[in-house]
Amino acid sequence: MVHLTHTLLKPTPVCSHIYIASSRSKLYLPRGSRNHAPKSWTRDYPGPIKAEWNTIARAKGFDLIRRIKDKSHVVLRCHTCGDLTAQKLYTLRTAQPACAGCRHRNIVATAHKAGLEFQGYDPDLHKLGIYHPPCGHTVRRQFGQIERIANGGCKLRCETCHSRREAAEAADRGWRLMGRDPEGKTNYRMYQHGCGHRQRVARANMQSGRFQCTACGEGWSTAPSNLYAIRLELPTGLKVVKLGFSRDPESRLRHQLLLQPGIQAELLRIVPQPNGHAALCQEKNLHRALKKSHPDAIIPHDHFQNWLSVKTEVYGIEIEAFILKRLDEIREK
């Protein structure tokens, strides 16, 4: 007699295995049957076991332990890992049954290699697993895709982190991300400007700022802006100063840091500018002057590309005082 004690995998209600109380061993359930009442797997089926079935099971890498649930199911013990899997008799006779224990360990190990934590099986789609990336959000992915990530073939993009980044980019320019494009274009989103007007904007334009509000006419070049200097310390120990301009340096700082946790950041200076165009000109002049006076202080992109979402305008901490002095001079003009 077997008893259902509890299921392990949370947060999904799906049951990939049950515990057999008498032996304390797990019984994995067939993939397509996990949504069936788990209780039905607690019943032994009293019929005889044919010698022929034992022979087939051994030839395929299993021992046939008992019949279960109804006349068409049996419990198999894997010769490789010793785990128990319930299978259809028909599957045993006509195909190579898979050991769910081996498969489960493989899924957990692949997730680990991909830098993820396996959380459980999707209750509705058996090709999908539930994972925790390092950011702590929950993602659903095909097992095959996790294998490609583990082998370095592609990267995982967390949808939650991604939409936060998009919202931060918009906030940086004085807009609020409202949602998908009502006309269904995947590279467009719906945004609301600070003036209250709603407008479709291509995401690339939101990132570059090359668009205007069609109601109030404000664009990045006409809207008030600021030069800023931010001190950043990466978990690698690298300390840098990022110099740039932004309508909202606080928000720029937050979304640049969204790339990776563990970065220390401090906003050192904000110098208000009448509009984005003036800020851009001042910033360009400053970079040109720094390139001339301190060419060795320019930090190559590959020193911070895994940590920051910016590509240039990052300088070594040794010229922090110099940069701040130049900003103060611009403020006093």
**Closer of 135 and 190 to Zn ion (Cβ):** 135
Query: Which of 56, 107, 150, 161 is in the footprint of Zn ion by CB under 5 A?
Result: 161
Give the phi and the psi of residue 289 in degrees, each rounded to 5.
-65, -40
Q: How far is CA 145 from CA 14, 94, 140, 169, 205, in A?
A: 21, 29, 10, 28, 30
Stretch that binds Zn ion, among 36-44, 75-83, 90-98, 263-271 (CB under 5 A): 75-83
Stretch that binds Zn ion, among 12-20, 190-198, 246-254, 307-315 (CB under 5 A): 190-198
Residues 6 or more apart whose CB falls under 8 angstroms from that of 321 comprise none
Rule CB under 5 A: say whether 89 interacts with Zn ion. Answer: no
Within the chain, strands assigned E span: 17-20, 25-28, 62-67, 73-78, 84-88, 117-121, 128-132, 139-142, 175-180, 188-193, 198-202, 225-233, 239-246, 264-273, 314-316
Output the smallest distance, CB 37 to Zn ion, in A.
25
CB 291, CB 259: distance < 8 Å: no
Q: 3-state DSSP: the chain helix, strand, coil percent, rounded to 5?
A: 35, 25, 40
Rule CB under 5 A: say whether 270 interacts with Zn ion. Answer: no
Query: Which of 23, 55, 80, 106 is in the footprint of Zn ion by CB under 5 A?
Result: 80
Rule CB under 5 A: say whether 178 interacts with Zn ion. Answer: no
Query: Which of 141, 193, 255, 269 is in the footprint of Zn ion by CB under 5 A?
Result: 193
Stretch that binds Zn ion, among 60-68, 93-101, 289-297, 300-308 (CB under 5 A): 93-101
Output the smallest distance, CB 274 to Zn ion, in A.
18
Q: How far is CA 171 from CA 177, 193, 233, 309, in A?
A: 8, 9, 24, 16
Query: Which of 64, 65, 171, 213 is in the footprint of Zn ion by CB under 5 A?
Result: 213
Rule CB under 5 A: say whether 109 interacts with Zn ion. Answer: no
Rule CB under 5 A: say whether 78 interacts with Zn ion. Answer: yes
Tokens representing 63?
């021992």
Residues 6 or more apart whose CB falls under 8 angstroms from that of 217 comprise none
Stretch that binds Zn ion, among 13-21, 41-49, 98-106, 325-333 (CB under 5 A): 98-106
Query: Which of 20, 89, 92, 158 is in the footprint of Zn ion by CB under 5 A?
Result: 158
Query: Which of 98, 102, 128, 150 is in the footprint of Zn ion by CB under 5 A?
Result: 102
Quickly count: other Cβ atoms within 10 Å of residue 162's Cβ.
12
CB 297, CB 290: distance < 8 Å: yes
- Encoded one letter per residue, x for contact with Zn ion by CB under 5 A and - for no contact, window 280-319 reads ----------------------------------------
Stretch that binds Zn ion, among 57-65, 167-175, 208-216, 245-253 (CB under 5 A): 208-216
CA distance 207 to 234: 24
Rule CB under 5 A: say whether 198 interacts with Zn ion. Answer: no
Rule CB under 5 A: say whether 135 interacts with Zn ion. Answer: yes
Rule CB under 5 A: say whether 139 interacts with Zn ion. Answer: no
Output the smallest distance, CB 56 to Zn ion, in A.
17
CA distance 186 to 166: 13
CA distance 69 to 42: 7
Site for Zn ion, rule CB under 5 A: 78, 80-81, 99, 101-102, 135, 137, 158, 160-161, 193, 195, 197, 213, 215-216
